């Protein structure tokens, strides 16, 4: 039987992160051979990974990293099963080190096959599943390249990236603010212009049906009914529809007995309300059309314009929720 020293156990712990007793047992089984001991621990991780494959890994750490010239960013989540593990400093450190590796790759597949301390990322995940005793995996993986990329991470739970068409003064502040918007509001596309017409039509029908169903119950309870919009996106508001909305607003003012000479002061507010009531999907899903979280009197597109001749050309989001 090999004489296992404390220094050897500590060396194996540093290499794998495994517990002291697990390292000692592996070294004894390997008769002091360090590589064989690592292999034994890895095989243990594989067995545990197989047993926990169906477990929910909704906890973990989300992180983002941008390269030195701000032209490429990566956002990943290192998922585990419990918040207890996710809050461990060594686990957070591992997630950040993995992000450094991810930044040098161009796909999740390349990332998982990349070297991480003498083994691949995929092997490290399996090893750590054995070490920690929980399912460990890469849940989210996003890469963004643009003339200028910035990021924001919300309490290690949501990571977001924003790409600009060019670098401008205070670009870091702009991308951080927009990334914060992405993290908070969870847009799925850049602009309402990106929506597919068939998607907008089916979504309109579904949303109106939900509101009408809610109104039946509200009516039964004698409560105020919800507004039933005709449309849900600016993509539907053609010049003809807007012209009709203006005509309807004028007819309403006339019916209310408002003097025609003051209509010009009232009409803009009514048209703005019509647009707001009929673009609810844009506010939810289209980043540039959302109300800006730091100033809801303007949308994100207006905020971006305040920085000059620059546009948001892309964004990415990774979340543990």
> For residue range 23-81, what is the model confidence (pLDDT) as tens digits?
788 888 888 888 888 777 777 777 776 777 777 788 999 999 999 999 999 999 999 99
DSSP string, 30-54: TTT-HHHHHHHHHHHHHHHHHHTTT
The answer to whether residues 157 and 242 belong to one domain is no
Number of domains present in the structure of the chain: 3
Residue 187 lies in a domain: no
Q: In this structure, what CATH number is given to the domain that contains residue 108? A: 3.30.479.20
The answer to whether residues 101 and 121 belong to one domain is yes
Give the residue numbers spanning the domain of 169: 59-182
pLDDT tens track for 238-272: 999 999 999 999 999 999 999 999 999 999 999 99
Q: What percent of the chain has pLDDT over 90?
A: 76
CB 159 within 8 A of CB 317: yes
Residue 316 lies in a domain: no
Q: What percent of the chain has pLDDT over 70?
A: 97
d(CA 301, CA 106): 29
The answer to whether residues 155 and 202 belong to one domain is no
Among 182, 201, 227, residue at a domain's last position: 182
The answer to whether residues 138 and 114 belong to one domain is yes
Residue 49's pLDDT is what?
63
The answer to whether residues 46 and 63 belong to one domain is no
Among 118, 148, 182, residue at a domain's last position: 182
Per-residue burial over 103-114, b = 16 or more CB atoms within 10 Å of its CB, e = otherwise: bebeebeebbeb
Residue 166's pLDDT is what?
97
Residue 200's pLDDT is what?
97
The answer to whether residues 170 and 202 belong to one domain is no
Residue 317 lies in a domain: no
């Amino acid at each position: 039987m090999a004489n296992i020293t404390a220094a050897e156990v500590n060396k194996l712990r540093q290499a794998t992160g495994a517990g002291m007793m697990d390292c000692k047992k592996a070294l004894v089984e390997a008769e002091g051979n360090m590589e064989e001991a690592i292999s034994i621990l890895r095989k243990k991780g594989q067995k545990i990974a197989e047993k926990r494959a169906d477990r929910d890994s909704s906890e973990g750490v989300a992180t983002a990293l941008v390269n030195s010239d701000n032209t490429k960013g990566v956002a990943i989540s290192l998922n585990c099963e419990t918040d207890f593990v996710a809050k461990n400093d060594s686990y957070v450190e591992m997630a950040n080190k993995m992000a450094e590796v991810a930044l040098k790759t161009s796909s999740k597949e390349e990332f998982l096959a990349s070297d991480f301390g003498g083994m691949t990322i995929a092997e490290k995940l399996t090893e750590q599943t054995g070490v920690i005793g929980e399912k460990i995996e890469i849940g989210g993986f996003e890469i963004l390249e643009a003339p200028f990329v910035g990021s924001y991470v919300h309490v290690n739970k949501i990571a977001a990236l924003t790409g600009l068409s060019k670098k401008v003064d205070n670009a870091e502040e702009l991308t951080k603010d927009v990334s914060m918007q992405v993290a908070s509001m969870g847009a799925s596309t850049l602009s309402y212009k990106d929506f597919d017409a068939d998607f907008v039509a089916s979504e309109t029908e579904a949303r109106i049906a939900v509101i009408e169903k809610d109104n039946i119950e509200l009516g039964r309870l004698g409560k105020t009914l919800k507004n039933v919009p005709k449309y849900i996106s600016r993509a539907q508001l053609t010049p003809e529809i807007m012209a009709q909305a203006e005509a309807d607003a004028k007819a309403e003012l006339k019916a209310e007995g408002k003097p025609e000479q003051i209509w010009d002061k009232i009409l803009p507010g009514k048209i703005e309300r019509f647009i707001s009531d009929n673009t609810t999907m844009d506010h939810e899903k289209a980043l540039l059309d959302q109300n800006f979280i730091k100033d809801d009197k303007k949308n994100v597109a207006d905020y971006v314009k305040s920085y000059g001749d620059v546009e948001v050309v892309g964004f990415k989001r990774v979340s543990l929720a």
